[in-house]
Chains A and B, each alone.
Chain A
Amino acid sequence: MSSSAIALATSEVPGIPQDEDGPVFREPWEAQAFAMTLALYDRGLFTWGEWAATLADEIKRAQAAGDPDTGETYYSHWLAALERMVAEKGVATTQTLHRTRDAWDHACDRTPHGQPIELRASDFHD
């Protein structure tokens, strides 16, 4: 991923927390969500304009539901927008995402501490 691609993302999408060198993240999962979005943009799944509109919509929705809008929840909205984009573009249905999330929860619960968590077919339930 070139730094110019990242610079384009931060100029086209409003509100990305950043310092003088680029985006900053509060927790590792935020960076992971950001990276996935960049990768999907790179594949041409959406334009930054579309992305910004979806994200703005998610933020508006969260605010209407009482989000404090302090910036701390920015990446929660980001993730909600990403899930929605993936569903709207027909990449994966909301059901598939939920099912996979439940499977990860299951894998997490059954894996003893200290061993890498791996997803198995048996973790999926309908």
Chain B
Amino acid sequence: MRVRALETVLTEKGYVDPAALDAIVEAYETKIGPRNGARVVAKAWADPAFKQALLDDATKAIGTLGHVSRVGDHLIAVENTPQRHNMVVCTLCSCYPWEMLGLPPVWYKASPYRSRAVKDPRGVLADFGVTLPKDTEIRVWDSTAETRFLVLPMRPAGTEGWSEERLAEIVTRDSMIGTGLPKAAP
């Protein structure tokens, strides 16, 4: 709240422009918090036992990896399947697993994203360039300060036998929010 208060006062007095601040912060998007999400997803793809543990209790499963200092108190992993695509929304930036994904993108905090994601998830996905088969159900999860969600995207075809490191490279941030898909295998 101290940072917010300062920003409010400085903006009112015309000393800073919130859009300019966002631009500076965005430049550091990948520098904030360890970007562990991709490694977790890659491990789940490569290791069925870990995947099961992750879906059972994500906080606990990620805790066993040792390299994550802290995740949200209650992190839930939701798995994408051909039948169901998961998408996560919340307008409060505290409701974002930034320990896993880094800084939330600016659009994620914007109210148009949240209201449209609930009413018209297919339209939002289309804006992100994602088209899903008509019979795929889209489930939208609303994060709370206590419960955060991590989307486990489907492993792309053509990645059989890849190492976890190589798999982690194709896991995008947006694919773990559900507004994107992993990069296709070359």
The interface of chain A, by Cβ under 8 A from chain B, is 1, 19, 21-36, 38-40, 43, 45, 79, 82-83, 86, 91-92, 96-98, 100-101, 103-105, 108, 113-117, 119
| A22 in contact with B31 given A38-B24, A115-B91 (CB within 8 Å) | yes
A21 adjacent to B10 (CB under 8 Å): no
Tell me, in angstroms, the Cα distance from A113 to B4 when the chains sit together. Answer: 18
Instruction: Find out whether the CB atom of B5 lies under 8 angstroms from the CB atom of A104.
Output: yes
CB–CB A119/B8 < 8 A: yes
- Of the candidate stretches B14-22, B120-128, B162-170, the one touching chain A is B14-22
A11: min CB distance to chain B, Å: 17
In the complex, A79→B6 CA distance in Å?
9
Q: Are B2 and A101 in contact, CB atoms less than 8 angstroms apart?
A: yes
A-B contact pairs, 14 of them (CB 8 A): A19-B31, A23-B31, A24-B28, A27-B32, A28-B103, A31-B103, A32-B3, A91-B13, A96-B9, A97-B2, A100-B5, A101-B1, A103-B5, A105-B1
- Residues on A with beta carbons closer than 8 Å to the beta carbon of B144: 113-114
Q: Does B142 lie at the interface of the complex (its beta carbon under 8 Å from any beta carbon of A)?
A: yes
Residue numbers in B under 8 Å from A119 (CB-CB): 8
Interface residues in B, total, Cβ within 8 A:
36
Instruction: Name A36's contact: one of B1, B6, B27, B92 (CB within 8 Å).
Output: B6
Write the nearest CB–CB distance from A74 to chain B, whole angstroms.
14
B68-90 Cβ-contact flags toward A at 8 Å (1 or 0): 00000000000000000000001
Among B9, B92, B104, B145, find the residue whose CB has the most chain A CB atoms closer than 10 A: B9
B57 interface hit (Cβ, 8 Å): no
Q: Are B98 and A39 in contact (CB under 8 A)?
A: no
Q: Note all chain A residues with C-beta closer than 8 A to B6.
A: 33, 36, 79, 82-83, 86, 97, 100
**Pair B17/A1 contact, Cβ less than 8 Å:** no
CA gap between A26 and B114 in the complex, in Å? 26
Q: A39-B15, A113-B92 are in contact. List 11 more A-B contacts (CB 8 A).
A: A1-B27, A22-B31, A31-B28, A31-B103, A33-B3, A34-B24, A98-B5, A100-B5, A104-B1, A113-B144, A119-B8
Q: Is the CB of A113 within 8 A of B145?
A: yes
Report chain B residues within 8 Å CB of A113. 92, 144-145
Q: Is the CB of B15 within 8 A of A91?
A: yes
Inter-chain contacts of A28 with B (CB < 8 A): 25, 32-33, 93, 98, 103-104
